[in-house]
Amino acid sequence: MKNKVIVITMLTTLFLSSCKETPIQENEQKTKSESIEKTTDNIVMNTSTDKDGKKLDLVFNNTKGTVTLNFNGETIELIQQKSGSGIWYKNENYELRGKGNDIELKKDGKLIFEHKDDIVNYSLKNKKGQTLDMTYNNTTNKVKVYLNGGEEIELEGQKAASGIWHKN
């Protein structure tokens, strides 16, 4: 009888301890896969050119909140700041601000690089009173069109024999 009690106790202990091992292994696997996901950085690269033809290469690491700039052969790392709108990065000497494609880089408060898209706005009205509002971005060769203030339609510029041609 004592042997049966000992065997039942041992089997119960073995069963309970084996049940506890599986969740620990699952948790370890989840932790490993979660840490792999966290180490993959969200990188965005861009190049901007100013009116004088100078280039500014930007590598944004959105995971770390940094941007690495290459300007005039110099590599500069800036840290993301809270911005009401657009982007804002800085370090002790440099400051990068921008919205959309427009970017300003300052060194010690002095503007050293600026890119602004060439934007042209047109508004036309036909005999029926319908309006066609157009915002041309000559830098990107795109136009946003609104008929009677309605939904935005974005069109891309095409090669035309003469005049202009945009389509989507």
The identity of residue 130, as a single letter, is Q
For residue 34, what pLDDT is reported?
52
pTM of the shown model: 0.61
Contacts of 47 (CB under 8 A, 6+ apart): 55, 56, 57, 58
Q: How far apart are CA 69 and CA 92, in angstroms?
A: 15
Tokens representing 87? Answer: 């982007």
Asked if pLDDT for residue 5 goes beyond 60, the answer is no
Tokens representing 2? Answer: 């004592």
Phi, psi of 85 (to 5 degrees): -160, 140
Q: How far apart are CA 136 and CA 155, in angstroms?
A: 10
- Mean pLDDT along residues 157-165: 92
| Cβ atoms within 10 Å, residue 155 | 16
Residue 139's pLDDT band (boundaries 50, 70, 90)?
confident
* Segment among 74-78, 123-127, 138-142 with least mean pLDDT: 138-142
- Mean pLDDT along residues 94-122: 94
74-93 residue pLDDT tens:
999 999 999 889 999 999 99
Residue 9, Cβ density class (10 Å: 0-12 exposed, 13-18 middle, ≥19 buried):
exposed
20-34 residue pLDDT tens:
444 545 555 555 545
27-70 residue pLDDT tens:
555 555 454 555 688 999 999 999 899 999 999 999 999 999 99
For residue 22, what pLDDT is reported?
47
| Cβ atoms within 10 Å, residue 70 | 14
For residue 41, what pLDDT is reported?
85
Stated as kind and residue range, the H or E segment containing 41 is none
Asked if pLDDT for residue 104 goes beyond 60, the answer is yes
Stated as kind and residue range, the H or E segment containing 120 is strand 119-125
For residue 113, what pLDDT is reported?
96
Residue range 43-115 forms a domain whose CATH class is mainly beta
CA distances, 141 to each of 51, 76, 135 (Å): 17, 30, 11
